[in-house]
Structure 1
C-alpha cells in the first residue's frame, strides 16, 4: 500500500508556512493588498505587512505605486499574463466558498501538469479540526483525488506517455503500476467521481468530481476533504451530487466568461 503524502511536519513553523502561502497566492492570483493577505491567512495586518516585506526583500514580491503587491522576479514567469489556471481559479472561488458554507468542510481545486497536480485554490472550513489549505502545493497525480480524475481522461497510449519507464529509471518506486492504475481509472470513469480514503494523508477522506470544458475535456478536479472521523459513507451520493452541482456552476460561468 502506498504511504500517505505530505503529512504536516511535526514542528510547523507558521511564519514560513504563511510566507509560502503568500508566494503561491501572488503567483496564482496576481495583485493583492495587505488587508487581503491578512484576511486570507487569518493574521493581523501588521503580521501580513512584515511577511510581505520579507518577500519583497527576497524578490518573491514587489510593491507598486498603488501599494499593491504582485509576484516578484523570482515568480515572474507566472506573472506575465493571466493563465488559464488563473482564470479558472477566479471563476471557481465563489463556488468554492459556497461549497464550504454548505458542506462545512474544506474544498479544493486542482489541475494536472504531466505526472503531477497542483492545487490552484483551497478554501478552509471554520471547524477547529479541519483539513488545511493545499493551495500552491504539488503532488504526484496518481496519488491524489484530482489527479485520478484527470488521468481517467487519458487513453492507454496517453497514460504511457505520462509515465515513460525511462523517466523513472533512477526512481522506479515513484512510477505507478500502470496495469493497476488503468483498472482504477476505469472505475473512476464508470463512477464519475473519486473517493480517496487516507491515500494522500492519514486520517483524511477526500471526494472529488471533474470540472469540464465546453468540449467535454476535464479541466480540473473539484474535491472536498475532511477528517476521516467525520466521513459518513451513507452521505456519499449526497456529497457527490452537491459537488457535481458546484462543478456544473463553475462550468457555466467559465462558458459565460470566455
Structure 2
C-alpha cells in the first residue's frame, strides 16, 4: 500500500498524474485534462505546456495532446551515464564559455541519441536545453559521429530493416564523418538550428557518447568552424583521458 507523502507538492503530483493519464488513456484536450485532474483549464494548459517542453507530451494538428517521446518505449543506453555526466559537466561549461554557444552531451540508445546534459548559451537567440530528449542518431551531429565509429555489422543491425533510412547513402556520409572527425547537423532536427558534434570513445575505442555545439543557423559561419571543432576536440580529449583514468 502506498501512502501519499505528507510533504506532497500538488503541482508535481498533477504533472505526474497527467503524464500517466496521457500514457494510459491516450490523446486528450486541455479541457479533458482539466476535468480529469479537477483543476482550472488555465492550470491544465500550463501543465501540458511543461510536459511538451520536456518531451513527456506533444500536441497534434487536432490540438489534442498525446504521449511524447519520453513516455514511449525506448532503447536503453549501455553508456555509463552518471559517470559521463560527472566528467562532462565542467567541459560543457568550458565549451559554452569559450564559444558562447549551447553545449550538449548525448549518449547512444539504439538508433537514437538521448541528451543527458546541456550548458545553455547566455545569448538571447540560442540552442535550448535538450536534456531528456531523444532524437534519431543519423540526423544529429553527435549521433552521426557515434554511428561513424561503429563496426559495419553494428550499423547494419541498426538500420538494415529501417526503410526510412537510405543505408548506402548513410554509409557514404559516415565515411566522410570518419575522415573529418566531426559531423554537422544542418537543420535536420529543427528548422533554424545547426549543430557540430564529435564522439567520445572509451579506452577500447568504442563510442560511448558525443559532445555538440548547437547554435542558430543564422549565426553559423564556415570560417568559424575550425574554432568550434578545436574547442570540441579539446573537450573530448579531456573527457576521454578522464574515462581512461577511471
For the aligned pair, the TM-score class normalised by the smaller chain equals: 0.5 to 0.7
1:173-252, aligned counterparts within 5 Å? 175-252=164-241
Q: How does 1:109-188 map to 2 (within 5 A)?
A: 109-165=105-161, 168=162, 172=163, 175-188=164-177
Question: Which deviations, in whole Å up to 9, do the C-alpha atoms of 1:149-201 show, x marking residues without a partner?
Answer: 11111233221111232xx4xxx4xx310000000000000000001211121
Q: How does 1:32-181 map to 2 (within 5 A)?
A: 84-165=80-161, 168=162, 172=163, 175-181=164-170
Q: Larger Cα Rg: Structure 1 or Structure 2?
A: 2
**Cα distance 1:134–1:217, how it changes in 2: closer, same or farther (>3 A)?**
same
Cα distance per residue 1:3-38 (max 9 Å; x no partner): xxxxxxxxxx765565688899xxxxxxxxxxxxxx
Determine if contact 2:199/2:236 at 8 Å carries over to the other structure: yes
SS at match of 1:158: helix
**Are the aligned partners of 2:89 and 2:117 in contact in 1 as well (CA < 8 Å)?**
yes
**C-alpha spacing 1:178/1:211, structure 2 compared with 1 (3 Å):** same
**Structure 1 counterpart SS, 2:138:** helix
What is the DSSP-based 3-state SS (H/G/I as helix, E as strand, rest coil) of the residue aligned with 1:142? coil
Q: Structure 1-normalised TM-score?
A: 0.65
CA RMSD of aligned residues (A): 2.3
Structure 1 255/234 Cα, relative in aligned 2: closer, same or farther at 3 Å? same
Give, in whole Å, the separation in 1 of the partners of 2:143 and 2:54. Answer: 24
**Structure 2 length normalisation: TM-score?**
0.68
Q: Is contact 2:198-2:212 (8 Å) kept?
A: yes
Contact 2:139 2:185 in 1 (8 A): no
Q: CA deviation at 1:255?
A: 2.7
- Quote the offset at 1:218 in angstroms: 1.6
Q: Which residue of 2 aligns with 1:75?
A: none
1:56 aligns to what?
Answer: none
In the alignment, structure 1 segments of 5+ residues that lack a partner are 1-12, 25-77
CA contact (8 A) 1:118 1:139 kept: yes
CA contact (8 A) 1:108 1:121 kept: yes
Secondary structure at 1:182 match in 2:
helix
Structure 2 CA distance for partners of 1:152 and 1:23, relative to 1, 3 Å: closer
